[in-house]
Amino acid sequence: MSYNVAIDGPAGAGKSTIAKAVAKKMNLIYVDTGAMYRAMALFMIREQVDENDAAAISGKCQEADITIRYENGEQVVYLNGENVNAFLRTEEVGNMASVTSAQPAVRRKLVELQQVLAAKSDCIMDGRDIGTCVLPNAQVKIYLTASSEVRAKRRYDELTAKGESCDLAQIKADIEDRDHRDMTRETSPLKQAEDAILVDSSDLTVEEVIEKIMGICERARR
Ligand code: DC
């Protein structure tokens, strides 16, 4: 049986940074499920599907073939044979992903892919429903969160460091909108699994969070 660590939490809590670091230290594969939902959203944007048209999203998603490969230790997402990694991390794609991921047809397709990956490899997988739906038997479940102020400030710093101009209040409003959508949707809403350990990173450095999560994983391995 493979060893699986599930990390769930809201946008901007630091899940991917932490999961990548823990994966390296524990020799696990890092599976970024948000990137799969983003690839699906990119497909919908390119196909000009209306985000309010649930039937169109459900129908169209059958035409998107999403696969994952690992190249030089990095997860690469292929959308109908094209490497789309470079297009996934925009605000437009993130916001569309939050809308299209609410559709059960989209979730069925991507959850199956995630479960196959986790069954064949020791991995740390991050997302919104990993501990509650995708990997209910994961050996470790973490719910990683931080206040929306802290998450917005981190995103703001990240964008300004890249030279992009942005507005802190707008970023915070977008994060809160996204939290609301992710937490209140009918299918697999974001919530802490009953057996998940809560880690609030608001007042912790990245190194402190990694240390905390490594400690939790090591205790579960014994
Ligand atoms: O983690 P992220 O920002 O890359 O995720 C983008 C969107 O995808 C997020 O708003 C909700 C959705 N998502 C999901 O519904 N379930 C997951 N397991 C991962 C992401």
In order along its 222 residues, the chain shows pLDDT tens digits of 899 999 999 988 999 999 999 999 999 999 999 999 999 999 999 999 999 999 999 999 999 999 999 999 899 999 999 999 999 999 899 989 999 999 999 999 999 999 999 999 999 999 999 999 999 999 999 999 999 999 999 999 988 999 989 999 999 999 999 899 999 999 999 999 999 999 999 999 999 999 999 999 988 875
Contact 39, 80 (CB under 8 A): no
Q: Say if ligand 1 is within 6 A of residue 185 CB.
A: no
Residue nearest to atom 2 of ligand 1 (CA): 34
Q: Which residues pair with 30 in a beta bridge?
A: 124
How many angstroms separate the CA atoms of 107 and 115, rounded? 12
Give the ligand 1 atom nearest the CA of 94: 6
The span from the CA of 213 to the CA of 219, in Å, is 10
DSSP reduced 3-state for 106: helix
Non-local CB neighbours of 124 within 8 Å, separated by 6+ positions:
4, 5, 7, 19, 22, 23, 26, 28, 29, 30, 31
User: Measured from the CA of 114, which atom of ligand 1 is nearest?
Assistant: 18
Cα 76 to Cα 69: distance, rounded to the nearest angstrom = 5
CB of residue 38 inside a 6 A radius of ligand 1: yes
Q: How far is the CA of 3 from the centre of ligand 1 (A)?
A: 22
